[in-house]
Amino acid sequence: MARQKQLEYSEFQGAMLDEGKRRRKAAKIIAVLEHFRGPLGGLTVGDVGCSAGFIADELSKVSGHTFGVDIDVPGLRRAADRFGATVAFVCGDGTALPFPDNSVDVLVFNHIYEHVVDPDAVVADMHRVLKDDGVLYLGLGNKLGIMEPHYKLPFLSYLPEKAADRYVRAFGRADHYYERFRTRRGLRRMLRAFHVWDYTFPVLATPQSFAGGELFPGAVGRAAQAVLARAPRAALRLVLPLVPTYIWVATKRPARPAGAALPQPPQPL
């Protein structure tokens, strides 16, 4: 059976309506973008896969013009009802974004690619609409992350399609496993037209710099953060293939982070 688009994702994935969590994610996204590029004031910023609009709403508070794009009609209705005065919400397919070439300063594509039928086509169209000096923020789940984030089942994303379907059914999570993750190498191929900087370890090692304090709660968490901040880069590279989520910033032309030095600096891919 051909894979179908998830037209009403917010109706069956409650996490999209968790306002507090979505706004915390937005704060991290904004902090990463501002470390890379500087303040977003006056810029045109878009959230591709915006759903109920919480991240787009936060982006609108620091940018010039903000829009959100999705095929999730119920989510877009909620977003427009609450935030339509400050954010332009558009029902549109990411493979054919309704914007001219070279017209957008910043795009956000946060944990969306695994839900998209053709993520390579979406990435290509984001490349098209970004300005030559534009910036793309990417939150990317890793196929080799141990715990699958949607269904909370270990090694689910490792399995072939039919075996994964049986797995989620056996634990009563869903009728079939829809998501399609890629490895770090596969993600880099997906973004081969971009120049990419990896912010994964900077965010984990210095969460206070990226509005991510909840990443390491308690004394154990603070100890883990301290270890990451001092760990040799060679040691961190060894664990990169298994990190569950990557935080990357991509540009069409070569560029460098503009922000202050960090214990674990961003690395070019």
d(CA 167, CA 173): 9
DSSP-derived secondary structure letter, 101: T
pLDDT at 195: 98
Could you write out the DSSP letters of every residue in 43-99? -EEEEET-TTSHHHHHHHTTSSEEEEEES-HHHHHHHHHHHTTTSEEEE--GGG-SS
3-state secondary structure of 209: helix
DSSP-derived secondary structure letter, 237: H
pLDDT at 224: 73
pLDDT at 218: 63
Is 65 within a domain?
Answer: yes
pLDDT at 119: 97
Identify the H or E element spanning 104.
strand 104-110
What CATH number is attached to the domain comprising 249? 3.40.50.150
Q: Is the pLDDT of residue 152 over 80?
A: yes
Residue 149 near residue 244 (C-beta atoms within 8 A)? yes
Q: Is the pLDDT of residue 84 over 70?
A: yes
pLDDT at 62: 98
pLDDT at 1: 59
**Using 50, 70 and 90 to split pLDDT, how confident is the model at 213?**
low
How many C-beta atoms lie closer than 10 Å to residue 101's C-beta? Answer: 10
Mean pLDDT is lowest, of 176-180, 231-235, 242-246, for 231-235
Is 100 within a domain?
Answer: yes
Q: Is the pLDDT of residue 207 over 70?
A: yes
pLDDT at 214: 58
Q: Is the pLDDT of residue 87 over 70?
A: yes
Tokens standing for residue 4:
């179908």
Q: What is the pTM of this model?
A: 0.94
Range of the domain at 47: 9-143+181-268
Is 3 within a domain?
Answer: no
Q: Is the pLDDT of residue 242 over 80?
A: yes
pLDDT at 98: 93
Is 253 within a domain?
Answer: yes
Is 245 within a domain?
Answer: yes
Name, in order, each residue with C-beta under 8 angstroms of 195's C-beta and a sequence gap of 6 or more: 250, 251, 252, 253, 254, 255, 268
Residue 50 near residue 78 (C-beta atoms within 8 A)? no
pLDDT of 162-202, one tens digit each? 999 999 999 999 999 999 999 999 999 999 999 999 999 99
Is 150 within a domain?
Answer: no
Could you write out the DSSP letters of every residue in 139-202? EEEBTT-SB-TTT--BTGGGS-HHHHHHHHHHTTS-SS-----B-HHHHHHHTTTSEEEE-HHH
Looking at the chain, the whole-number percentage of residues with pLDDT higher than 90 is 78
Is 104 within a domain?
Answer: yes
Looking at the chain, the whole-number percentage of residues with pLDDT higher than 70 is 92
Give me the mean pLDDT over the 59-70 stretch: 97
Q: Is the pLDDT of residue 32 over 80?
A: yes
Is 155 within a domain?
Answer: no
How many structural domains is the chain composed of? 1
Q: Is the pLDDT of residue 2 over 90?
A: no
Mean pLDDT, the chain, whole residue set: 92
